[in-house]
Amino acid sequence: MDKLLLAEAIVLSPLAAAVVLLVIAPLRRNHAISASVTILATTVSLVSALLLALDFTGNPDLAPVQQQWPWLPAGGHIMATVGVYVDAISAPMLVVVSLVALCVQVYSVGYLGHEPSNDRGRYFAYHALFAFSMLGLVIAPNLLQLFLCWELVGLASYLLIGYYWTKPSAGRAALKAFWVTKFADMGLMLGLMVLYVKTGGFDWTVTPASTLQTIDHEWIAGLLLMAVVGKSAQFPLHVWLPDAMEGPTPVSALLHAATMVAAGVYLIVRSYPIFEGAPTVLTIMAWLGGGTALYAATVAVFQDDIKKVLAFSTCSQLGYMVAALGSGTLVAGYFHLTTHAFFKALLFLGAGSVIHAVHSNNLHDMGGLMRKMKPTAAMFIIGSLALAGFPMLSGFFSKDLILEELLHAGHIVPLACCVLAAGLTAFYMTRVVMMAFFGEPSQASDHAHESPAVMLAPMALLAVLSLVAGLLMGDFVALKDGYAGFHITALGMTVSAIGIAAIGAGIWRFGPSRRATPLGGPATIFAGLVAKAPVDQTFELFYRRVLDRVSAAAGWFDRYVMDGLVNLAGYAVLVAAAKLRKLQTGNVGDYVYAIVGGLIVLTAFGVFGGN
Amino acid sequence: MIGLPAVLLVSAALFALGVYGVLSRKNAIGLLVAVELMANAVNINLVAFSNHWGGVAGQVFALFTIALTVAEVAVGLAIIILLYRAHKAVEVDEAAEMSG
């Protein structure tokens, strides 16, 4: 089949679904139609992406499948293009995005089974919009289209976080996510402006190298990094991600764990030629990523809300990816992105299944669910082990590669942060597993029941991928700068050992023999210090003290100076008009005198005036 | 054969008469007549120059002006009728409501 047609089908089928559902209201109101249209469209995308991606497996130098149409004609030349561009970098991401999206959409059919039909229809319409935006972002042939879709996924995120729109907290969370990421997106916009001014285009392949100095690289990469920090929830702009958990759990799995938040990391991967020339920004990335990995993992230990644990875990894992990309090579961070997408989506879907059963997010309301929900528990444990980097599972390989790259690049402090975070990751995941699935059952878990097959099947697929993706995806995302292939290093084994020790510590601390108790003593003080609240408060302080004052000053200037000038001009016109209107007497004789007078003046001018 | 300057003098006199009429009359019909006088002064000029330089362009223009003046008079008379209906008078200084 024509490859170009496949590439176009990847983005156009969800676009068609989104347009049809958003425009034709009766279809959207019927959840069955809305869900089938969306799932069908995503299936088309997945099959197309798979067919294309198989060609690139182990063959990274294959010519990209691409098609571009001119867009934005500006002063005789084309300012930008839109189109599709599938190469060794975008192909695996397309598969990951469409696969996870499909799993989540199928899962949502069961998860939202009790919602009104109208709401469910709207939900799937948003999902179609998201699928189109995200795939359009990944398949973009230049950074301008990527930026456009970047904003569209932000919109989809806003709509889906606010899905329970009658809940005030959901509305606030949606707004906060939008506000924080929009603030960060200014960096992307400014970065693109600098890029356009310097190179006259929006391409990530910066050629020839001479047109762009190192300082330009630093500026552009730094500004792009700002957007990444917002979208991929890096410190200190991570504050929106835990709040975004107000959305339905499948949304958290797809947008806020597997794909959308990874868009930031993908942006770095995609525009790596720009980042490669910016050594300072790369170092910042390594430190920032390592710091976020450790910080978020620490906070995750103290969360009692199962989704918040996973949210901070996502921040932490995204920190790993950013740190890996800061070490100067592509493949480790990208590899971790793909494996993380599978096991974190699995964990969120598992958490959703539990929440579906006990109707609470709180870990203290769970407990002993192993007996009631064996499949969910088993798959959740697989996800946890993969995340903790248990040997031979997917997280083991990708995390190992990241640490190796950091060591290789000589970033010792970020490396230490990541190793520590790896231990904490194993610890907090063990805590969640112990509190949710083992121990004494709570009142809510007595009535718990296993979720329907439509929810378990997508989880099973993701569980299988979490088990084997580490072995398979390595070749799948093998990029030009090399993937050493299947190998085990001393560093990797050490980290795994730390992880297993942490799992042991977690079992000892939260195990079945002890009723899950909050961490007390010094740990509580520590929790207060590192928790999200201080960061939120700092932002609030900045918002109330600085931003409000600046706004007030700007408002005063606008009200009294700018408006004053405008009003003055208006007043002058009024006064002049009051005088001038007297000229219109309404008397025909006066007009005739004016005409004759004018005639005389004109004649005199014609006879005596100059030439 | 009367020379061109003589004809132009007549025309200028006629035009001045028209201007005087326009400035002095208050009666709308008188105004209209004065305007016609000025138009005919122009017509005389056109014909005189046409005769002086040879060629028919001036005469054609004169005919054209006559046709145009007819239309103008028709519109003018219509306005005067409306003015009379509104004010029961044809003196133009009676109708000064449009003052600023």
| ipTM, 2 dp | 0.80
**Which of the two residues, A34 and A211, has the higher pLDDT score?**
A34
Q: Which two tokens stand for residue A306?
A: 């199962």
List A residues 502-561 in contact with B (Cβ-Cβ < 8 A): none
Q: How many CB pairs under 8 A join A and B?
A: 35
Average pLDDT, chain B: 89
Reported as a single tens digit per residue, the pLDDT across A368-396 is 777 788 888 888 888 888 888 877 778 77
Angle at A521 (CA atoms; ends A516, A525), nearest 5 degrees: 110
Reported as a single tens digit per residue, the pLDDT across A470-514 is 776 666 555 544 555 555 566 666 766 777 776 777 676 666 554
Residue A543 DSSP code? I
Q: pLDDT value at position A400?
A: 81
Residues of B in Cβ contact (< 8 Å) with A585: 96, 99-100
| SS3 annotation, A330-392 | CHHHHHHHHHHHHHHHHHHHHHHHHHHHHCCCEHHHCCCHHHHCHHHHHHHHHHHHHHHCCCC
Q: Name the pLDDT band for A134 (thresholds 50, 70, 90).
A: very high
CA distance A596 to chain B (A): 8
**Of residues A290, A456, A468, A314, the one with CA closest to residue A394:** A468
Residues of B in Cβ contact (< 8 Å) with A580: 100
Does B26 contact chain A (CB < 8 Å)? yes
SS3 of residue A68 by DSSP: strand
Beta bridge partners of B27: B91
Smallest CA–CA distance from A589 into chain B, residue: B23
Contact B92 A587 (CB under 8 A): yes
Backbone conformation region of residue B50, classed left if phi is above 0, alpha if psi is from -120 to 50, else beta: alpha
Q: pLDDT value at position A480?
A: 46
Tell how far CA A300 is from the center of its chain.
19
Ordered by where they begin, the domains of chain B are: 4-87 (1.10.287.3510)
Residues of B in Cβ contact (< 8 Å) with A589: 23, 26, 92-93
Q: pLDDT value at position A370?
A: 78
Contact A585 B99 (CB under 8 A): yes
Contact B93 A589 (CB under 8 A): yes
Closest partner residue to A596 (CB to CB) among B19, B98, B99 is B19
User: Could you tell me the maximum CA-CA distance found in chain B, to the nearest angstrom?
Assistant: 54
List A residues 563-582 in contact with B (Cβ-Cβ < 8 A): 580-582
Q: pLDDT value at position A339?
A: 87
- Give this prediction's pTM: 0.74
Q: How far apart are CA A317 and CA A89, in angstroms?
A: 20
Q: pLDDT value at position A525?
A: 61
Residues A47, A50, A55, A57: what is their CA dihedral angle, to the nearest 10 degrees? -170
Q: pLDDT value at position A527?
A: 62
Q: How far apart are CA A221 and CA A188, in angstroms?
A: 9
Q: Determine contact, residues A342/A472, Cβ cutoff 8 Å.
A: no
CA distance A145 to chain B (A): 59
Which residues, at least 6 apart from A432, have a Cβ–Cβ distance to it below 8 Å?
A306, A309, A363, A384
Does B83 contact chain A (CB < 8 Å)? no
pLDDT at A609 over 80: no
Which residues, at least 6 apart from A499, have a Cβ–Cβ distance to it below 8 Å?
A388, A389, A390, A422, A423, A425, A426
**Mean pLDDT confidence for A390-417:** 82
Q: Which two tokens stand for residue B57?
A: 């362009």
Q: Name the pLDDT band for A121 (thresholds 50, 70, 90).
A: confident
Does B95 contact chain A (CB < 8 Å)? yes
Residues of A in Cβ contact (< 8 Å) with B92: 587-589
Beta-carbon count within 10 A of A260 CB: 27
Closest partner residue to B98 (CB to CB) among A580, A586, A593 is A586
Interface test with B, best of A580, A583, A587 (most B CBs within 10 A): A587
**Mean pLDDT confidence for A9-21:** 90
